[in-house]
């Protein structure tokens, strides 16, 4: 049975050599750990920021940027075209209640539609996360 193409065994050998060098050299190993730590740290920071922003929008009917925490400011969407498209979809949706909450996710939509990582809870969603 042939597992690799012509060049693959050489690439595997080079990868193993690279890993051996990392795990046998203290400073390379420390740099490798640091790089992993930075990647994990960035992801955790983003995750915590989204949780904070989600909590804020669930408990506030509109975003007041003078009082909003940094997590909300970091996740706030400023693209007017996308904001208008989201609000047009929500305001004409049968799931929007009189107090401007979504009856599916229970969120106040005046706040939620302004958060970049937010999305409509329907499957498929009427509007999705914002990707710049
Ligand atoms: S988030 Fe989706 S389901 Fe909820 S009101 Fe807006 S468009 Fe409708």
Query: What is the phi/psi pair of residue 66, to 5°?
Result: -70, -25
**Is the CB of 109 within 6 Å of ligand 1?**
yes
Q: What is the pTM of this model?
A: 0.72
Q: Which two tokens stand for residue 34?
A: 């640091």
Residue 1 is predicted with a pLDDT of 46
93 lines ligand 1 (CB under 6 A): yes
Given a cut of 70, the residues of the chain with pLDDT beneath it are 1-7, 132
pLDDT given at position 5 = 53
The whole domain housing 102 covers 1-64+73-132
Indicate if ligand 1 lies below 6 Å from the C-beta of 126.
yes
Q: What was the pLDDT predicted at 7?
A: 60
Number of domains in the chain: 1
Cβ contacts of 68 within 8 Å, gap of 6 or more: 56, 60, 76
- At 107 the three-state DSSP class reads coil
Q: Give, using CA atoms, the residue closest to atom 4 of ligand 1.
A: 102
pLDDT at position 25 is 83
């Amino acid at each position: 049975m042939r597992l690799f193409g012509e060049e693959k065994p050489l690439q595997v050998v080079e990868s193993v050599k690279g890993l051996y060098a990392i795990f046998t050299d203290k400073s390379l190993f420390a740099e490798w750990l640091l790089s992993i730590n930075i990647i994990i740290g960035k992801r955790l920071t983003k995750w915590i920021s989204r949780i904070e922003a989600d909590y804020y929008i669930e408990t506030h009917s509109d975003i007041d940027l003078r009082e909003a925490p940094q997590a909300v400011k970091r996740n706030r969407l400023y693209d007017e075209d996308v904001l208008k498209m989201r609000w047009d979809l929500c305001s004409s949706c049968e799931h929007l209640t009189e107090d401007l909450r979504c009856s599916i996710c229970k969120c106040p939509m005046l706040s939620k539609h302004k958060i970049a990582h937010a999305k409509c809870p329907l499957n498929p969603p009427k509007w999705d996360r914002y990707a710049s």
